[in-house]
Amino acid sequence: VSDYDPRLVALYDEDNPDGPDHDYYRALADEHDAAAILDLGCGTGILTVTLTRPGRTVVGIDPSPRMLEYASDRPGGSEVQWILGDSREIPSRRFDYAVMTGNVAQHIGDPDWERTLAGLRAALVQNGVLAFESRNPAGRAWEGWNHAEQTVRQTTHGPVRQWSEAREVIPGRVILTSHNDFEAAGESVLEELTLSFREREQIEQQLIAAGFELDGVWRNWDRAPFVTGAALMVFEAHAA
């Protein structure tokens, strides 16, 4: 299995900085007085470390060794328990809050996605809360990811020339190819991701099948109710 290039991991936070999405996930933790939090697909750990509080346990899981290495080395990293793997590696401890942020849900293809939801349900106490977002297929976000135009950004590894292509190979499944030319090293790094765009109804059914009850589907980070055609879907559910 190929992993993220460490030079690109370092750029990830720059492209996905802290913002209203992280505020939402943090607020939910406080609202539910969460004492044990699971961040599945934690990536660089940018949100994970900010969830820590005295007396609270925070666990970050990710299948990418490069991501986890970066996460555990970041400031505050020693306050989190980092686990390499996916939903099958969730420790048997009981959590009262679990998140999947940065569209992790879309990075998990079927049937792994259903196994992931079942694993999350098993990891939560009764009434434990699950929150995550996924892009609405109706928003056709991938159409905006075809950047034939190349941009050059300055990094600690010198200039990197970047461009990307995205195509929907079958309805709801998108392959995103990102090109990264490290010009000083004369190296090209190709990153290919398969993203699942699931319909709201499908995710709701999958949540219920996994043993969750739905608390809301939002179209933004202020918890405005979802409306047909909204680009974003934020799911909030609890373990039934």
Ligand X SMILES: C[S@@+](CC[C@H](N)C(=O)[O-])C[C@H]1O[C@@H](n2cnc3c(N)ncnc32)[C@H](O)[C@@H]1O
Site string for ligand X, 36-75 (x = CB under 6 A): ----xxxxx-xx--------------xxx--x--------
Question: Residue with structure tokens 């792994």?
Answer: 112
16 in contact with ligand X (CB under 6 A): yes
Nearer to ligand X, 155 or 178 (CB): 178
φ, ψ (nearest 5 deg) of residue 214: -80, 135
Contact 161, 150 (CB under 8 A): yes
Binding-site member from 59, 108, 124, 160 for ligand X (CB under 6 A): 108
Site size for ligand X (CB under 6 A):
20
Site string for ligand X, 73-92 (x = CB under 6 A): -------------x------
Give dist(CA 170, CA 174) in Å, integer. 7
Give dist(CA 5, CA 126) in Å, integer. 39
Which tokens sit at 172? 């709801």
129 in contact with ligand X (CB under 6 A): no
Strand partners of residue 238? 129, 213
Which residues bind to ligand X, rule: CB under 6 A? Answer: 16, 40-44, 46-47, 62-64, 67, 86, 101-104, 107-108, 112
